[in-house]
Amino acid sequence: MINMLILGSTYALLGIGLTLIFGIMRIVNFAHGELYAFGAYFVYFVAVLLGFNFFLSLLIAILAGCILGALIEVVLLRPMRGADIDTTMLIMIGAMIVMQNTEQYVWGGVAKSVSTPFPETPLVIGAFSVSWLRLFVFFAALALIAAAYFLINRTKLGRAMRATFQDRDTAALMGVNIQAIYMATFSIGSSLAAAAGALLGPVYVVSPQMGNIASLKAFAIVILGGLGSIGGATIGGFILAFAEEMGAGYISSGYRDAMGFLLIIAVLLFKPTGLFARSERIG
């Protein structure tokens, strides 16, 4: 149960990042899972190898995800502005292959673990016991989700992003700097993915394959929640975590990862607009 909430909250982070990029830029970001893995590796790098404070490492990893996202946007996506969705998709698949194998090349195939400053003894409340680390991860993820909401709904940048989502050309006419919005969107989306990785990495282990399935899971979450809907992505994250736990518990643990794909297929066949999309808008 607690496991489900932790997974759900980090899945929601992944999903929100992807839904922003997909919704605003119309880019199917196959490298999203690799940014997630990047976040996890960065925490490992800063906290374990450089010996920084754990919480500071988390912040640095999120910031690094943001910078990497901006870099990808400027180098790979900006020149292809206006290209159709299949073309950018191929570029992002190329980026995914490069990033994944670079991780494998640099860090090797062996999984790494990140130690944390939290006490080993779990927190016991009545019949429940939960480790401090997991509790922290859950609340940190919730805080980041809330921050994303605030950013989109309450700030000037968020308003410009919402306007771009609704109608790019009109937004540009109203003086919105579309290039800057795209770059901001991709960096924010990337940093959310990196944050999810940075938070989950210490809970499990960090391995080069972790990004593989994360991209597809993020797609599942976005499709569940409806394109461009942040609220939908949040709920979608929890639904996916729930479905996976149920699938692992009642069918077979080997089919845990199949649940996301089955959900995608079912949702797209029966309700292609997603479960929570009222209309195509963001926020």
Q: How far is the CB of 14 from other proteins (least distance, A)?
A: 15
Q: Is 110 in the site for other proteins (CB under 8 A)?
A: no
Residue 109, SS3?
A: coil
Does 255 bind other proteins (CB under 8 A)? Our answer is yes
Question: Cβ closer to other proteins: 47 or 183?
Answer: 183
Q: By C-beta, is 59 or 172 nearer to other proteins? A: 172
Least distance to other proteins, CB of residue 227, Å: 9
CB nearer to other proteins: give 202 or 247.
Answer: 247
Q: How far apart are CA 210 and CA 77, in angstroms?
A: 24
Cα 255 from Cα 244, distance rounded (Å): 8
| DSSP β-ladder status, 123-125 and 128-130 | antiparallel
Cβ proximity of 99 and 41 under 8 Å: no
Quote the CA–CA distance of 206 and 42 in Å, as a whole number: 10
Is-contact 102 110, C-beta < 8 A? Answer: no
Contact residue for other proteins among 62, 64, 223, 240 (CB under 8 A)? 223
Residue 151 in the binding site for other proteins (CB under 8 A) = no
| Of the candidate residues 1, 49, 51, 82, the single one contacting other proteins (CB under 8 A) | 82
Give which of 8, 73, 10 is closest to 36, Cα–Cα.
Answer: 10
Residue from the set 80, 111, 123, 180 that interacts with other proteins by CB under 8 A: 80
For other proteins, which stretch binds (CB under 8 A), given 3-11, 60-68, 86-94, 184-192?
A: 86-94
123 forms beta bridges with: 130
What is the C-alpha to C-alpha distance for residues 257 and 59, in angstroms, rounded to an integer?
A: 29
Binding interface with other proteins (CB under 8 A): 22, 26, 28, 76, 79-80, 82-87, 89-91, 93-98, 100-102, 104-105, 168, 212, 216, 219-220, 223, 252, 254-255, 257-258, 260-262, 264-265, 268-269, 272
